[in-house]
Amino acid sequence: MASTMRAVAQFGQAFNVSVIDRPIPNIISETDVVVRMNASAICGSDLHSYRVSSGFEEAPYLYGHEGIGHVVKVGDSVQFLTVGDYVVIPNNFDDGHFTLEPDSFNPGLSPGGPEGEDGRPGLQAEYARIPFADHSVIPVPINDSTNTSTLIDYLLVSDIFATGWSGVTWSGFEAGDSVAVFGAGPVGLLAAYSAILRGASRVYSVDRVQNRLDLAESIGAIPINFNESDPVEQILEREPGGVRRGVKAVGYEAVDASGAVDPDITLGQLLNVTARQGGIGVVGLFSSGLGAIDCGQAFGKSVSVNGGVVLPLQVASEIVPLIRSGEAHPSFIVSSVIGVEEAPEYFERFNRTQETKVVIEF
């Protein structure tokens, strides 16, 4: 192998990522594997760091927490993986003692070192070292002849398909329920798709970006454009008693019809549109102190609210078989498949909502 690889990084300037040379990682611990990446993706969560001054010249911010690839090196203590195995690398990993605070591949500042061994590498790179590999990756039944679409289906298990699926689960969903999903970005679209796969009677998809709403309609969801009128009123006209389940797939950067940021708006709207004794699943990213909810209203309506950080390792057994059987094709959300050198351009496009989901193919 060559001694360096290409990777996506940020050096402290907002709205500006670069593709740089980094040392190819090697085995450090006996429980490691090294994976040659086949594909990674640009995630909505990446935009939180992209929009601010992330990283430094001496310690770049390394991007990527969604990945799929094949194992090229195996540590001596790895028991269940061999060279050539294809694995999904989820956005968090397990040291064998999974707690409520698992370590995570969500990228951060790497303090450097010859192979970045003191920090967690991003997955928007040609290679990645995976610690605790027996516990931390999801083996998938693909090989060198698998088509790109199927490979991308499995890639999305690493984060956004698992996240959308979990949002539906956390809402208390049962087959036949009606569902409103606020947000039609990648996670929101896959939450709507998950509800449809699981037998929802009706699914409403709320957003203001028309190409997203068109995609939601293409999978059988009912598009609700909140630029046109109050989304609660639009849904209640169709569901006078409210929907049984809601999914919040927008984080603290939620906006109102004027475009002003309002972290509380979608939680309030979901409470208004959810039926008594219904449920809401929250998977949008929040910072502490943002995203207030009217507990009195939730109490009065007996609406349960559940959410948090999604662990793909815990839901892979539910969604990987759906892809393997051909029942689920989450890759429908992908608008562009690019090479790594195109990442700066497509970060810009994704930030401007000109792309639904961007996959980087290596």
Distance between CA atoms of residues 28 and 202, nearest Å: 50
Cβ atoms of 190 and 153 closer than 8 Å:
no
Per-residue confidence band for 134, with pLDDT thresholds at 50, 70 and 90: very high
The answer to whether residues 27 and 153 belong to one domain is yes
Same domain, 189 and 274: yes
pLDDT of residue 119: 47
Band the pLDDT of 111: cuts 50, 70, 90: very low
Average pLDDT over residues 332-352: 97
| pLDDT level of residue 109 (50, 70, 90 thresholds) | very low
Statement to judge: residues 50 and 109 lie in one domain: yes
- Say whether 282 sits in a helix, a strand or coil: strand
Q: Within 10 Å of residue 220's Cβ, how many Cβ atoms?
A: 14
- Give the helix ranges, DSSP H, for 219-361: 231-238, 265-273, 295-301, 312-324, 343-351
The structural domain count of the chain equals 2
Tokens at residue 232, please? Answer: 């609660």
* pLDDT for the residue numbered 115: 38
The pLDDT assigned to 95 comes to 64
Give the integer Cα–Cα distance in Å for 127 and 104: 17
Q: How many CB atoms lie within 10 A of CB 86?
A: 21
Clarify whether residues 126 and 9 are in a common domain. Answer: yes
Per-residue pLDDT, 102: 47
Q: Clarify whether residues 134 and 260 are in a common domain.
A: no
Residue 356 per-residue DSSP state: S
pLDDT at position 292 is 80
Tokens encoding 52: 């601010």
**Choice between 100 and 358, residue whose per-residue pLDDT is larger:** 358
Taking Cα atoms as reference points, which of 117, 95, 109, 118 lies closest to residue 34? 117
**pLDDT class for 97, splitting at 50, 70, 90?**
low
pLDDT at residue number 99: 53
Q: Token pair for residue 61?
A: 């911010």
Co-location of 20 and 58 in the same domain: yes
CATH assignment of the domain containing 209: 3.40.50.720
What is the pLDDT confidence band of residue 294, given thresholds at 50, 70 and 90?
Answer: confident
Same domain, 18 and 97: yes
Band (309; pLDDT cuts 50, 70, 90): confident
Q: Are strands 127-130 and 86-89 parallel, antiparallel or unpaired?
A: unpaired
- Compute the mean pLDDT over every residue in the chain, rounded to the nearest whole number: 91
* One domain, residues 11 and 90: yes
User: What angle do helix axes 312-324 and 160-170 make, rounded to 10 degrees?
Assistant: 110
Asked if residue 34 and residue 175 are part of one domain, the reply reads no
Structure confidence at residue 106 (pLDDT): 45
Picking from 184, 179, 335, 342, the residue whose alpha carbon sits closest to that of residue 249 is 184
Residues 159-191 pLDDT 10s = 999 999 999 999 999 999 999 999 999 999 999
pTM for the model: 0.92
CATH of the domain at 333: 3.90.180.10
Do 349 and 296 belong together in one domain? no
The pLDDT of 14-35, averaged and rounded, is 95
CB of 121 within 8 A of CB of 131? no
- Residues 191 and 302 occupy one common structural domain: yes
196 burial class (0-12, 13-18, 19+ CB within 10 angstroms)?
middle
**Residues 261, 264: Cα–Cα separation, whole Å:** 9
Q: Find the domain containing 295 and state its range.
A: 160-307
How far is Cα 35 from Cα 45, in angstroms, rounded to an integer?
A: 23
| pLDDT value at 286 more than 90 | no
Per-residue DSSP letters for 146-210?
A: --HHHHHHHHGGGTHHHHHHHHHHHTT--TT-EEEEE--SHHHHHHHHHHHHTT-SEEEEEES-H
Residues 262 and 182 grouped into a single domain: yes
112, pLDDT greater than 80: no
